Structure 1
Amino acid sequence: MSIDFNGRVAIVTGAGNGLGRSHALELAKRGAKVVINDLGGARDGSGGSSAAAKAVVAEIIAAGGEAIAHGANVANFDEVQAMVAQTMETWGRVDILINNAGILRDKSFAKMDLADFRLVMDVHVMGSVNCTKAVWDIMREQNYGRIVMTTSSSGMYGNFGQTNYGAAKMAVIGFMNTLVLEGQKNDIRINCLAPTAATRMTEDIMPPEICAMLQPEAVTAGALTLCHEDAPNRMILCAGAGGYASTRLFETDGVFIPEQEQSPEAVLAQWEGICDIGNQAELASGLKQSEKFLTKAMAYVQANK
C-alpha cells in the first residue's frame, strides 16, 4: 500500500535538526502541512535560535510543500498552546503530533545534579504531555488523531549515565498506555518510537563509521508507519540502521499463595512458578492484572469449599 498524508496537518517537535527534521521533511514530501517546532537550543537545552526551524521550512517550501516554524519551548504549556493556536489559525486542524523534542544531560546518578534530572524530565515527559494536551480536544472533536511518543532503549533496558533520560523515556510509554484507552473511541491512536540514529545527540559517542550506518531516514520510515491513517495502536516500534523490531510488555501467569501461607519465604519457594514464561500474556490494561489475581483467588476458594 502507498502511504500519503495529503490534507493532513502535522506538528513535529524538535524538528530543526536530526530525527525531527527527517520526520518533517518526509511528511511534507508525502503531502502533509507541517509545523516545524524547534526551540533552537543546544543539545543540553541551553540557548535558543529560530534559524534551524526556518531553514527546514524553507527547504519544504522550495520543494513545493507547506510549512510554518514555531519556537515554542515544549516544557512551557503557554508557548505550546500558542503554537497550536497558530496551527489552527493557519490550517484549521491538527491530525498528527510527533513528540520528538529532547535534550541530554548525562552523568552517573552519584554525580548528577537534581536540577539536570528535573530538566530532562520536564522536556521529555512534560514536553510530550504539554503538546498532547494542547491538541487532545482538537483530535477528539475531529474524531481523528495520530500521536507518536519518542521512547528509547535507555528507558526500556537502561544505559549507564542516563538515569534522567531513561526515566523520562520509560514514562512516555506509561503515558501512551493510558492515552490509548482514553482516545480509542475518537480514533486517536498513540504509539511509541524507539530510535537508534546518528544525530547531534549521539554524534560524539559513536565513531564516524557507525554514525554513517545510523541515518535518521531509517527511523523516519518507522515514524511515518506509526502516524498514517491505518497506523497501529499502542505499538512500541524500534528502528535503526535498517533494523525494525517491536518491544512489548508481558506478564507471567504467576502463582496463587493462600492467605495463611503468604510470607516472603513462600514467595521465594514459588519463585520458579512466578517467573515461568510459559503462559505469559500481554495485558490490555492495569485492570486485567487485578482480574487475573482475583480469578486465581476465587478459584482457590471454590476448590476449598
Structure 2
Amino acid sequence: MTNLAIQELQELTTQSRPWFFFMGFRKPHLPYIAPKRFWDLFEGYKFKPPTTRISRSLRRFKPFTREDTQYKRKTPKHDFIKMAKGYYACVAYVDELVGRVLQTLEESGKKNDTIIVVTSDHGYHVGEHGFWAKHTVLENALRVPLMIYDSRVGSGTSHAPVELLDLFPTLVDLAGLDASNIQPLDGVSLKPLMNGSKQWVKPFARSYWRFGSQFFKSKRSMRYRYVKRNSRQTALIDFKTDPDEKSDLKKKRWGIYKKLARASMMKSSSSMPPDFKPDQPAFYKSGFSLVPT
C-alpha cells in the first residue's frame, strides 16, 4: 500500500490544482506482523508488565469495557513480553512507512505548500489495567496522537482537550475555504490553538462508543474524566491524584462530578444516529475475558 501511496502522491504533487490525499495503516492492529528487523529492534529490551490495576470501586461498576472482563486476572509475563514486542515492532514499522511517504512529499518540493496531519482513530492497551486492544473508555484506548504541520504556523504543543471532530473544520479553516454553506458542525477549528491562543472554547473532549445495546460516554477535561455506561453506571477519574485511572472518586469530588454530568455531550441531538437508544439494557457474555490466560 505504501508503494501505491507514494506513486499517487508523486502524481498529485505535479498538479497545479489543490488536492487532498488520505491514507491509513492498519498496523499496529492485531495480528502483529512486521519484518523481522523491526522485531530485532526490541530484542533484549526488558519489557515490564504494567502494574496498574483497577480498584474495587471501578470493578464494581464495570463502566469501561464492553465485556464482563476478569479484572483481577494478570497476563502471564511471557505472553505480555511477546505481545508488547509485537506491538512496538509494528509501531516502528509504520513509523518507517510514514517517513517514506513524507520523504516523497519533501522531494517533490511541495512540503511547505501542504498541510499534514498524523493521527489515529483510537488508542491501545498494551496490558494496562489487564486489558489489550481498544475496548475501554480509559485513557489508553481514547487518547490518540495528533500532529498537524502547516509551514505558516510555528511549532508548539497544546494540552487542551480536542476531538477528532475538530479535524474537518480545522482543515477547512487552514485551507481558507468558505464554510458558510456547510451545516452546523459539532467540531471547531484548532487554528486558534495552533496560533498560541490561550482562550479555548471546549471545556472537555467527548468520546462515544456503542457496542450492541451498550453505549459508553466519556467527557475528558484537563484534569478529570467523567464516564457513563448506558443510563446508570458512572464514575469520575481525577488525573492529578490518580493518573493511572485506578479509582472512582465521584464521592470525593461530588461537585466536579455533578458539573460534568450535567454538561451537554453535544450541540445537537441530530448528531446521533436515528436508532440510538441510550436506555437499552446491557447484556454481557458470561465467562469471556480480554486478558490472555
**TM-score, L = length of structure 1:** 0.30
Q: TM-score, normalised by structure 2?
A: 0.31
Q: Which has the higher contact order (CA 8 A, sep 6+)?
A: 2
Higher percent of residues as helix: 1
